A and B are shown apart, each in its own frame.
Chain A
């Protein structure tokens, strides 16, 4: 297991979201779950907590995560990830799904 935490600068999330938290994905082989919650501080950063069963890929993780808050205003969110060997594209996809559910609801 490898654990790490990093905050990435980002524009603040919209004041109103459909939900206060959202979950995407499931902890299965080659998959991961991403929990996005609003209300974390500071409002200008996306606070990421990763726990992965496969150690040694921190650089890839940080690259995949850093990309997200460039494209979406995600400041003031806390992102927690439980990973069981998901590829980087899936990390981005799940993050977007969770973010989408948070801001727009699950419809």
Chain B
């Protein structure tokens, strides 16, 4: 893989290969194992050999990691029973072996064709993530594509210690079209891409503190961001959870009534909205730090 490729245009396996040390990746439950979804087969929908998730172990900067990448093009990267079981197992292994776990997200959440199995799998994975955090094993979510992290996977990503995003990445619970369906086009126009990215995109999430790093759309930049976070962890404690709750209450009070995402940017210290909109991810992060 060449270093110039855009991360969001790569396939799941290419992304892993581009992030980790050369030839260090060993895939677990690879396609020849043919662990496919029994539900999709019953419904007459084509299955995939890996059920939309590539998992395995690798090295990053010489350090052992567990890594998973979702395949967004296969039913929107959605989590079914097999996909979810692979995810749960990987985080459980990370907790058991005390090896950091990196998840490259590209998913709209639970796969509706196997909804209950998917929901349970996400809950079990969250439990495994908290097990990692209790043991101070770093868990890092990478959100770098426009499919982003939504639904159960959006929630799951915020359970991880850290989130690395690019400006292409989006993070939320209900997707834009769902919000529009419920609230009306006037309240939220899902075809307004600027609005969608200004409410759920990487830049806004970084500004609000939901993303811990905002980097270029390339494997090198993402690898560097992960490497910096690998030694750290963000353990869950009662004071930390209470502080987070306070922060969110404050955010709701400040911005709950705002219809204009620019107002949120301004209130968070962005002075030149046009320049900030055009800035690349790291430029934006630098501007936000300097209070421009």
Do A27 and B46 touch (CB < 8 A)?
A: yes
Within 8 Å of chain A (Cβ to Cβ): is B32?
A: yes
Given contacts A21-B32, A35-B31, whether A53 and B46 have CB atoms under 8 Å apart is: yes
Q: Whose C-beta in chain B lies nearest to the C-beta of A82?
A: B46
Do B48 and A33 touch (CB < 8 A)?
A: yes
Given contacts A26-B73, A26-B74, A27-B74, whether A82 and B47 have CB atoms under 8 Å apart is: yes
Of B17, B32, B41, B73, which contacts A28 at CB under 8 A? B73
Within 8 Å of chain B (Cβ to Cβ): is A106?
A: yes
Given contacts A35-B32, A53-B44, whether A23 and B74 have CB atoms under 8 Å apart is: no
**Cα distance, A26 to B47, chains bound together (Å):** 10
**Interface size for chain B: under 10, 10 to 19, 20 to 34, or 35 or more residues?**
10 to 19
Within 8 Å of chain A (Cβ to Cβ): is B30?
A: yes
Do B31 and A53 touch (CB < 8 A)?
A: no
Do A27 and B48 touch (CB < 8 A)?
A: yes
Do B49 and A82 touch (CB < 8 A)?
A: yes
Within 8 Å of chain A (Cβ to Cβ): is B45?
A: yes
**Cα distance, A63 to B193, chains bound together (Å):** 44
**Cα distance, A33 to B36, chains bound together (Å):** 13
Do B48 and A26 touch (CB < 8 A)?
A: yes
Within 8 Å of chain A (Cβ to Cβ): is B67?
A: no
Output the least CB separation between B80 and chain A (Å).
13
Within 8 Å of chain A (Cβ to Cβ): is B71?
A: yes
**Interface size for chain A: under 10, 10 to 19, 20 to 34, or 35 or more residues?**
10 to 19
Within 8 Å of chain B (Cβ to Cβ): is A47?
A: no
Output the least CB separation between B6 and chain A (Å).
17
Do A21 and B74 touch (CB < 8 A)?
A: no
Q: Whose C-beta in chain B lies nearest to the C-beta of A52?
A: B46
**Cα distance, A21 to B17, chains bound together (Å):** 16
Q: Whose C-beta in chain A lies nearest to the C-beta of B54?
A: A23
Render B27-42 as a binary contact track against A, CB cut-off 8 A, 1 for contact. Answer: 0001110100000010
Output the least CB separation between A41 and chain B (Å).
16
Q: Whose C-beta in chain A lies nearest to the C-beta of B47?
A: A82
Residues of B within 8 A of A33 (CB): 48-49
Considering only residues 10-46 of chain A, those with a C-beta below 8 Å from chain B are 20-21, 23, 26-28, 31, 33, 35, 37
Do A27 and B32 touch (CB < 8 A)?
A: no
Output the least CB separation between A27 and chain B (Å).
4
Known: A21-B32, A28-B74, A82-B48. 4 other contacts (CB 8 A): A26-B71, A27-B73, A80-B34, A82-B49
Question: Would you list 10 pairs from A and B whose C-beta atoms are within 8 A, ordered by A residue?
Answer: A1-B46, A23-B13, A26-B48, A26-B71, A27-B47, A31-B73, A53-B44, A53-B45, A82-B48, A106-B17
Interface residues, chain A, with chain B CB atoms under 8 Å away: 1, 20-21, 23, 26-28, 31, 33, 35, 37, 51-53, 80, 82-84, 106
